[in-house]
Structure 1
């Protein structure tokens, strides 16, 4: 590209980045504003304060936010682990075996992935109340699998197709069983795809609001997105905007940390899965 074209590309990319990050910067700014300064139109807070963070960690919102943060971490990690493990076996079978109904399975997974969650909340609510899963961790982990498992199968199937079958056959010729070849040869080679799938699944479960607000009623299993809806101000006429923005910043930190820690694996996983050899 010429110098002019390169400059235009850089300016366009900078504009997109600023457009995407402006809402995040605005939320961070609001989290440092006091209740009286929230109506101020200035972007930066005039008197930065940690009061909103003290509210959610040691103040009136502590008993609502901290249990919800623990629930979100535990439920999302378990749902992600189960989803990735099940998806590895399913995707391996789809990529390696030729059996009737393979296309139907992939199509069904795609249909489940795009199926609106709001349409099955009411049946799940009634079912969970009847069998005792309402307001429990398993009562959220199971629905989260319906969100994370289809996309995990689709993503991992693409990675397993990229791995040459001859490598697995060579391991079996050297005396490895099918399980040993899968565990010691296939899974390590698909590690970028596994990391990418795990992080995507974690993001999907972490950001869920519909199941969290509909299938819980107490702090025993309520996740953070649902708990934010129960924040209250000092009076019925006061919106807890500062506390909500502070909580939003805190729950965004795990996502940012995961991306920074596994950035190279995410990029490698996305590029490997997108190119067919």
Structure 2
């Protein structure tokens, strides 16, 4: 009995630590965005704003073209996610269904390719985009983000495609469907939880990326949200309430996206873990 309660409380404490670690920064940023500059630096520290203000959100949109940054981030994230899913579906299907030689080696190479630090790839990516005259365009970010998201998207989809009976595809092809048609009409719809999971992971990675966005798109009209938020601070000033307001604006779209597709994402992660 003592072992049971000890294990139960240990799991409860561990779960509480995970929840606090995940939610506390976001809650703190939200509370900071509702404070005035004076209240933020007052002592002793006030955890809850005494007189919540929305002025910081107004300044977040007026001090910098935040709507433009949002639009750029949405465009880049959506295009790179769609392209990643399209290419990863074909790659995952080939690995899961075709009799490829050294299949395990291919999977190992996919995993290894995702382990390179982004900073080591920055110079070759920059030079490639410069030679192609793609700097300060959406394409300059969409193509690298697609490549960077391919390993995780492919690995997620492989485990789902393997769980779908081959008889369903064979029946579709007997009825006149091509292998490519069977992939997108049969396999991909049946693997919807995995597709949503891979899509969410790819979207969030593209939405949060900073280094490539800063280096490849230096034009003010092409800046994405992470780069734009970094411009709120001055040489000697750090308007944390305004920055916090901008961060909340950046968090909301991702939070809404995950909330809408919560069941599919959780189901996809769980099933992928069991089947992989």
TM-score, with normalisation over the residues of structure 1? 0.90
Equivalent in the alignment of 1:162: 163
User: Any idea what the Cα deviations from partners look like across 1:147-200, whole Å, max 9, x if unmatched?
Assistant: 211111111111111111122123333443323322322111111100110001
Q: Distance in 2 between matches of 1:46 and 1:95?
A: 58
Distance 1:38 1:266, change over 3 A: same
Distance 1:167 1:126, change over 3 A: closer
SS in 1 for 2:117: coil
Question: Which residue of 15, 31, 35 corresponds with 1:33?
Answer: 35
SS in 1 for 2:221: coil
Matches within 5 A, 1:177-216: 177-216=178-217
User: Any idea what the Cα deviations from partners look like across 1:55-93, whole Å, max 9, x if unmatched?
Assistant: 122x222x2x22111100000000000000110011001
Q: Give the CA RMSD over aligned residues.
A: 2.0
Equivalent in the alignment of 2:63: 60
- State the aligned residue count: 272
SS in 2 for 1:230: coil
CA contact (8 A) 2:63 2:232 kept: no
Equivalent in the alignment of 2:264: 265
SS in 2 for 1:270: helix
Q: Distance in 2 between matches of 1:238 and 1:180?
A: 57
Unaligned stretches of 5+ residues in structure 2: none
Q: Distance in 2 between matches of 1:180 and 1:112?
A: 29
Distance 1:146 1:42, change over 3 A: same
Q: Give 1:268 shift.
A: 1.5
Q: Distance in 2 between matches of 1:132 and 1:178?
A: 37
Distance 1:108 1:15, change over 3 A: closer
Equivalent in the alignment of 1:48: 52
CA contact (8 A) 1:28 1:249 kept: yes
Q: Distance in 2 between matches of 1:8 and 1:272?
A: 26
Moved more, 206-215 or 97-106: 97-106
Unaligned stretches of 5+ residues in structure 1: none
CA contact (8 A) 1:162 1:273 kept: no
Q: Distance in 2 between matches of 1:163 and 1:50?
A: 51
User: Any idea what the Cα deviations from partners look like across 1:17-60, whole Å, max 9, x if unmatched?
Assistant: 12321111111111111122221311111221111100122x22
SS in 2 for 1:114: coil
Equivalent in the alignment of 2:16: 14
Equivalent in the alignment of 2:112: 111
Q: Give 1:14 shift.
A: 2.6
Matches within 5 A, 1:60-79: 60-61=63-64, 63=65, 65-79=66-80
CA contact (8 A) 1:67 1:219 kept: no
CA contact (8 A) 1:112 1:146 kept: no
Q: Distance in 2 between matches of 1:254 and 1:26?
A: 18
Q: Distance in 1 between matches of 2:96 and 2:202?
A: 20
Q: Distance in 1 between matches of 2:88 and 2:231?
A: 35
CA contact (8 A) 1:147 1:205 kept: no
